A and B are shown apart, each in its own frame.
Chain A
Amino acid sequence: MEVFVQQLINGLTLGSIYGLIAIGYTMVFGIIGMVNFAHGDVFMLSAFIALIFFMLISAWLGAGLIVLSLFFVLILAMFFTSLWNWTIERVAYRPLRGSFRLAPLISAIGMSIFLMNFVQVVQGPRNKPTPPMLNKSILLIDSATYPVSISYKQIIIIVSTVVLLAAFWFIVQKTSLGRAQRACEQDRKMASLLGIDVDRTISITFVMGAALAAVAGVMYLVLYGVVSFHDGFVPGVKAFTAAVLGGIGSLPGAVLGGLLIGLIEVMWSAYFTIDYKDVAAFCILAVVLVFMPSGILGRPEVEKV
């Protein structure tokens, strides 16, 4: 029981990160029907941006105000990652809009290779550890055999995920921007005929996806305290799995899928073997796609004859 509660906490923390990345996949897929392969690498890039800003700001503010410096890091990382994703969309995807289906996918794979190697070249191939931070935790269940605790890190991750998701949800559901986005999802041509600036809406979608990926990047850095240039691929694929599991195109689905993938991964590692945790994630992806391709919250697709 104690083990389960502890793993539940760990799983939700990890799941929040996957969920945040998954939203980027699901939004882009919803609006332009493309798997944004480079999204995992954008997430990795954001973790690097966060790492550098964290070092700069914590040196300036001092180690005492760690939560405040994290707040600044978050804002800055969101801004600069968004700028990157905006540029990527402009350079690598926009010229291919309305082109053949495979072209943007290949372009995105190229972008993913580029970003990964770019970070390797400019920041070096080694793992980059952060100075230790927020190592305290609160004891929840005081058990002699297996004490259950929640760390400050985990609290920060879960709380900020919930707050940011609420803000994001408000934007998508209640503002005209969100309406424009949903209109473009339904029918891009019609939306543009009704006066929606489709290119701008798509750009904003990429910016929003990147901002959430940056949140995930900061959280990842806080949680693991280390990042390297190849850390984008596996979390990226898992987040995509989450998006598919939740039903691609559905925002609550992406979050739900992220939490499920996080929980499954953590539980698998705790109860079975840690070696095969990625195999488990990929197997889930395959099984979900084969047996329920529309996911948990997605709309079923009817074949048009």
Chain B
Amino acid sequence: MAIDATTPAKRQADMMAALKEAAFAGLITLGLCIPIISWGTRQNIENQLVLDPRWDTVAWAVAIVFVGRFLMALRKQTRDPNKPAVRLLPHGTIGFFQRHSGLFSLFGLGFLIVFPIIAITLAGWGGALKWIDNFGVQILIYVMLGWGLNIVVGLAGLLDLGYVAFYAVGAYSYALLAKNFGLSFWILLPLSGILAAFWGMLLGFPVLRLRGDYLAIVTLAFGEIIRLVLVNWTDFSNGYAGISGIPRPTFFGIPFTAADNGFAAVFGLEFTPLYRTIFLYYVILSLALLTAFVSLRLRRLPVGRAWEALREDEIACRSLGINTTNTKLTAFSLGAMFGGFAGSFFAARQGFISPESFVFMESAIILAIVVLGGMGSLWGCAIAAIAMIGGTELLRELDFLKQVFGNDFDPTKYRMLIFGFAMVVIMIWKPRGLISTREPSAFLKEKKAISADMVQEGHG
């Protein structure tokens, strides 16, 4: 943090103005609290609704906003207008980071590979399960989904709000084919990806000529249609009840069970469920790396350049002989394919899936990861996924808050509340996402990062 508290105030702080501003904000807060916070609704024993007044909470909210606003107003007045705003990172950090992105990638990769070992060393065999599963696997799933959607939204500039549909296609393909035909994970993984890509093409074909927000809404509609069909077509998908008992992946034929032919027994180890989790961790890690590898390669190929050109100016693309429909379709179905891979992994990991896992909120979260990360940047996506998914997972760990706020305080209740709020705050702070510069796909002499102001974000 680069706030310099010792700098003498250039201008006299205008107490009255700050107070006025704070009073106004407090008044608005009071208005917002009525009646939604000031009265809580609760069903009594006869199942009738009764109201509980909660004016103390309102008073707290108003007081916090009043003081916060007052301090903000004071700081705004006393800050030297020539001094740049507060920076979270020292100047040039991101530039440094990008110049050495190869080195950082290597470091990151190394860390990811040894992560289970670190977790076991630090948290022991019992505690590591949570870290590898809830943090490692969970975050990597979202990193992979983010990278998959990044091809569609970040590179091709097509706004897709129904990405979770392809995730669902992948998951249900694996679940149904594995249960009914007993096919193995390694056959079904590519198959689910292909099926998802096929659905991507099927859905993409009629809608990809739409532009901007309209495309977003149609893709949202498709996502919801697929989910609602899964809910209602019970013969096919077992509806809300979902599909349970999905076969778990095996280590090339050796199951991760406590049985005599299980992984632990075969390798002469003591049985622990951790082996399966570690195995799953490396599976999703390699899937995510595959996604990254393919999207990095494609960016340097004509098709990737055409995607980015499409995002910049579709009409110019057509004047250069680029078949924009096909180009969009490849982006859409390729993104869908990676979604399908992730979906089949998800089904294999959970052993149970239901339409509840594929609600619109999931699409919104994945899109948020792509946009917050900075469209088109793989690093940005990864950082956003770690911050948003890891951050909200971390809330589960904040048990000490119970000591502060009392025992019935449950931090996980605030998970999505904070998530939504963080989305708004990050957008206001960095509308182009965390890493917003674009790296050219080819160069003659020197590779220069292109600032976000130049880069278009697509109209379709």
Contacts and interface: CB of A to CB of B under 8 A. Distances in A.
Interface of A: 29, 33-35, 45, 48-49, 51-53, 55-56, 80, 83-84, 87, 91-92, 95-96, 99-107, 109-124, 126, 128-131, 233, 237, 240-241, 244, 275-276, 278-279, 282-283, 285-286, 289-290, 293, 303, 305
Contacts of B360: 233
Interface of B: 28, 31-32, 34-37, 39-43, 47-49, 51, 159, 206-207, 210, 212-214, 216-218, 220-222, 224-225, 228-229, 232, 315, 360-361, 364, 367-368, 371-372, 375, 413-414, 416-417, 419-424, 427-428, 431-432, 457
6 contacts: A35-B213, A35-B216, A103-B431, A131-B49, A237-B224, A276-B232
A282 B221 contact: yes
Contacts of A103: 371, 427, 431-432
B207 A290 contact: yes
Query: Which of B220, B364, B423 has the largest number of chain A CB atoms within 10 A?
Result: B423
A118 B424 CA distance: 14
B40 A110 contact: no
A62 B363 CA distance: 46
Given A99-B431, A106-B371, A293-B210, A123 B423 contact: no
Given A102-B375, A106-B368, A286-B218, A84 B228 contact: no
Contact of B417 (A45, A121, A126, A282): A121
A200 B233 CA distance: 49
A258 to B, nearest CB: 16
Contact of A35 (B31, B217, B419): B217
Contacts of B224: 237, 278, 282
A290 B218 contact: yes
A249 to B, nearest CB: 12
B30 to A, nearest CB: 10
Given A117-B416, A123-B41, A80 B371 contact: no
A100 B28 CA distance: 29
The 9 closest A-B pairs by CB, nearest first: A110-B423, A113-B420, A114-B420, A103-B431, A117-B417, A52-B35, A110-B424, A282-B221, A99-B431
Given A48-B41, A110-B422, A233-B360, 13 more contacts: A52-B39, A80-B35, A100-B432, A109-B423, A113-B361, A117-B420, A123-B36, A123-B40, A129-B47, A241-B221, A282-B221, A286-B225, A289-B210
B36 A122 contact: yes
Nearest to A126: B43
A95 B34 contact: no
Nearest to B220: A237
B427 A106 contact: yes
Contacts of B51: 52, 55-56
A275 B234 CA distance: 11
Contact of B49 (A83, A84, A99, A129): A129
A55 B36 CA distance: 13
B36 A49 contact: yes
A154 B416 CA distance: 36
Query: Which of A29, A45, A51 has the largest number of chain B CB atoms within 10 A?
Result: A51
Query: Which of A29, A121, A283 has the largest number of chain B CB atoms within 10 A?
Result: A121
A107 B221 contact: no
A115 B428 CA distance: 18
B368 A282 contact: no
Contacts of A126: 43
B87 to A, nearest CB: 18
A290 B216 contact: no
Contacts of B216: 35, 105
Nearest to B48: A131
Contacts of A100: 431-432, 457
A107 B426 CA distance: 9
A113 B361 CA distance: 8
A102 B420 contact: no
